[in-house]
Chains A and B, each alone.
Chain A
Amino acid sequence: MPAVKTRDSAAQAAAERLEAHLREIVRWHFAPETGCPFWLEWAKASGFDPREIRAVADLAKFPHFQDEWLREYPPERWVPRAYRDRPYSVFETGGTTGMPKQRVSWEDHKLDYSEFSKTLDDAHFPRGAAWLMVGPTGPRRLRLAIEHLANVRGGPCFFVDLDPRWVVKLLGKGDAETANKYKDHVIEQAVTILKHRQIGCLFTTPKLLEALGERIDVVRAGIKGVFCGGTSMTPQMVRFLTEEVLQNQAQFVPTYGNTLMGLACSRPLEPEDRWSATYYAPQPRAVLRVVDPKDTLRNVDYGQFGRVELTTLTKELFMPRFLERDEAVRRAPCDLYPWDGVGDVRPFGALEKKVVEGVY
């Protein structure tokens, strides 16, 4: 069967590319002339030279990356020596309250979103069209990333901010009423922009898209494509947004990602997917695994739920084996992305306890 063979050889090529990239990144982060203080000190204390590692399986020699480190240590400790003369951006993660997790960055978001741009369909995300982002701006990578995406495609980007930390706080206190008022305030601003400016493309979160659709006919407002992310989406939500809010006319592109990973794209949905999106990490710059929560060295079988583990491999950030606060189904590689994907992403332990996700 030649099709399978092609897929096998594509998978093989992707795996080889990943291992070569891994070796390069590890060499970079653990060489005294290029690496960052955090990892150089770690290597000294651990007594093992990570530059020996050859294969993805060798990542097991690292412990799970603790995101607490990103809260605890100041940004300087994460600056690779090779970049020490270049001013950096500090990006913070989404909806956490208290001291935020921070990462330093220079170009990663541009690289990630330039790559992502190549996956977008020009018919639905027209070149030169203006974008509107309705979501968390502030100290977040996403804000600059979306603007870069619009710019790379030749258009400008408008913004309406939503502060997810405020929403998390309100919902934590059980004040759904104020949270709803805040959502209305955000949506009102978005509606104003959509009415007064010609916008073709939209980035927002699923709940905000839903709320926007309650106030305005998104398709008649001129939106041809919507790129959505930020929180998990059930298949029913994907279907509802596609069929009803976007009336099967504007294209809906669900993604999975965060400040630490970048952006995992979904492959186009087929009827047999029953609206369940499958996301693929931007390999080789990041690798997603779905692991057994009780034995994280073990991948779960295809079709099984497990905890999402992220490894980020860029010159700006080396983050091995970080356990995300999400669980997902492990999905098979596809032609477009010949490596493992993740599907039905939901907050880790969603079935056991309620997690405050809110409007963000």
Chain B
Amino acid sequence: MTYDLVPHIPALRFGRPYESLDVGEVKDCRSGRTLARLSLANGGLVRRDLLFKQDAAFEALQRLPVAALLEACAKAGELFMRAELPLGAGHVQSPERYVETLSATSGLPHNMCRANMEKIHHVLTKMPTILKGLTRGMDLSVLDRGVGEQSGVPVCYVPMGKSLGVVLPSNSPGVNSLWLPAVALKIPVVLKPGREEPWTPWRLVQALVAAGLPAEAFGFFPCDHDGADAILRFCGRGMVFGDEKTVAKYAANPGIQPHGPGYSKILIGLDEIENWRAHLDVLVQSILANGGRSCVNASAVLVPKHGRAIAEALAERLGPVAPRPPADPEARLSAFANPAFAEYIDGAIEDGLRVKGAEDLAARFRGGPRKALFEGSTYLRPTVVWCDSFEHPLANREFLFPYASVLEVPQEQAVRALGPSLVVSAITRDEGFMRELLLASHIDRLNLGPVPTVSVSWDQPHEGNLFEFLYHRRAIQRVGA
């Protein structure tokens, strides 16, 4: 394969491709070779487009019936999965090439790229199920008419913004599934791709346009902080992925949905604890799936007893997991596109281990250091930290690799101890315990029973209901209609 002609991915200005003079490079994280050049939009350009083109983008989608949008989404799902799609002027990208380049620049092994691809395909092709979940079964033609009826009650929904701005991360292509329903809900999207991952949002826009959706409904702006800030300030609704600082910055803004660390957890009830060995697979999958890079990966396991034994058993399963070549179907770990980041994480864990009361039990099963070099890439190998208290600095941490703490917390204290958690899988049948969990507002997604934290039910919302974020139900009374 030759890369003589590196593709140039332009910005998409609501239907108009634009090659900027400011160009970024997306590089193979192993060889350092440039795999694409990326047009970087200046902040002023983004603001100008949002000020002057957003209305037309909104009109372009609002005039299409939801039924047509759902059909286009399904078609786009197939195209995303199987078609050659444009990649800047003069280049096309096959699905295989998409997997290869995504893997080369993000460090994700091919099998995980494919798994994410399938997840996205699923979202696009099962969009009716997703919208049914988000709207609780509302007849979607209500959105075409603005008014209608649901369960015998008149309903009227008004869009809260003329577009959804999304500031994407680079950690996992799967996050793109979060904004996709907006398109089916008639709301244009304005995407700022992550520095290392323009591939997925770009390919999705190409697929949606090839499926017949109007190009003017899509903004794609690789840009710096100024541009990202413009997207969040000028789109009616915004979604941003980042760290705790990002979340704190936007927490008070009802128009912006910040997605930060998940701090997802697994609880085992007193009633099931003697049975813990039977649930080990669920624990391992929750920690290891997708290379531990998602906010839905479990980062802590809270149990009422047998903590040390459970931690040992997890360490024995996870410790030996080692880097493999990206194309190996058995590859379970993702390389770090930026080795400095692995360095930082490794350092933070080592610092934590120096505080009394924690032990990395996976160390002895790894047969080597946590930070590993393999075929020119940096990896972090799975780490299971046994902590003697929830106060320990490593007890409630989330890192971009398979990492979990295991600790003993009495069941009556467990729900309070959790703290804000995106996903909690509670392995219990205890009615009282379940009731307590059901009433806990700091848990966003709740799985009752041995369900891996990473498992997704498509008719359920994720981190806030996107439909309710985009549309507001207003009171409506009509006379003489």
Q: Which residues of A contact B (CB under 8 A)?
A: 176, 207, 210-211, 213-214, 234-237, 239-240, 244-245, 274-275
Contacts and interface: CB of A to CB of B under 8 A. Distances in A.
Contacts of A235: 21
A239 B42 CA distance: 11
A234 B21 contact: yes
B315 to A, nearest CB: 42
B202 to A, nearest CB: 20
30 contacts: A176-B229, A207-B44, A210-B44, A210-B47, A211-B44, A213-B44, A213-B48, A214-B44, A214-B47, A214-B48, A214-B51, A234-B21, A234-B22, A234-B42, A235-B21, A236-B21, A236-B22, A236-B40, A236-B42, A237-B42, A237-B44, A239-B21, A240-B42, A240-B44, A240-B45, A244-B48, A245-B44, A245-B48, A274-B21, A275-B21
Contacts of B21: 234-236, 239, 274-275
A274 B21 CA distance: 8
Contacts of A211: 44
Interface in B117-147: none
Contacts of A234: 21-22, 42
B31 interface: no
Contacts of A207: 44
Which among B22, B44, B45, B47 has the greatest number of chain A C-beta atoms within 10 A? B44
Nearest to A276: B21
Nearest to B23: A236
Interface in B1-42: 20-22, 40, 42
A237 B20 CA distance: 10
A236 B20 contact: yes
A184 to B, nearest CB: 12
A211 B47 CA distance: 9
Contacts of B22: 234, 236
Interface bin, chain B:
10 to 19
A240 B22 CA distance: 11
A210 B40 CA distance: 17
A264 to B, nearest CB: 22
Contacts of B44: 207, 210-211, 213-214, 237, 240, 245
Contacts of B229: 176
Main SS class of interface, A: helix
Interface in B330-353: none
Contacts of A275: 21
A207 B226 CA distance: 12
A238 B45 CA distance: 12
A311 B349 CA distance: 54
A274 B20 CA distance: 11
A217 to B, nearest CB: 10
A236 B42 CA distance: 8
Nearest to A207: B44
A234 B21 CA distance: 9
Nearest to A209: B44
A210 B41 CA distance: 14
Given A207-B44, A214-B51, 7 more contacts: A176-B229, A210-B44, A213-B44, A234-B21, A237-B44, A240-B44, A245-B48
A275 B20 CA distance: 11
Nearest to B22: A236
Contacts of A237: 42, 44
A234 B48 CA distance: 18
A235 B40 CA distance: 12
B235 to A, nearest CB: 15
A275 B47 CA distance: 21
Nearest to B50: A214
Nearest to A210: B44
Contacts of B48: 213-214, 244-245
Nearest to A235: B21
A236 B51 CA distance: 20
Interface in B42-89: 42, 44-45, 47-48, 51
Which among A176, A207, A214, A245 has the greatest number of chain B C-beta atoms within 10 A? A214
Contacts of B42: 234, 236-237, 240
Nearest to A238: B21
Contacts of A274: 21
A50 B276 CA distance: 89
A204 to B, nearest CB: 13
Contacts of B45: 240, 244
A187 to B, nearest CB: 12
Contacts of A239: 21
Contacts of A214: 44, 47-48, 51
A240 B227 CA distance: 14
B45 to A, nearest CB: 6
A237 B21 CA distance: 9
A234 B51 CA distance: 23
Nearest to A237: B42
A274 B229 CA distance: 28
A240 B41 CA distance: 10
A213 B21 CA distance: 20
A274 B22 CA distance: 11
A199 B192 CA distance: 38
Interface string B404-421: 000000000000000000
A191 to B, nearest CB: 14
Contacts of B40: 236
B251 to A, nearest CB: 15
Nearest to B52: A214
B52 to A, nearest CB: 9
A245 B51 CA distance: 13
Nearest to A211: B44
Contacts of B20: 236
Nearest to B233: A180
Which among B20, B21, B22 has the greatest number of chain A C-beta atoms within 10 A? B21
A210 B227 CA distance: 13
A237 B42 CA distance: 7
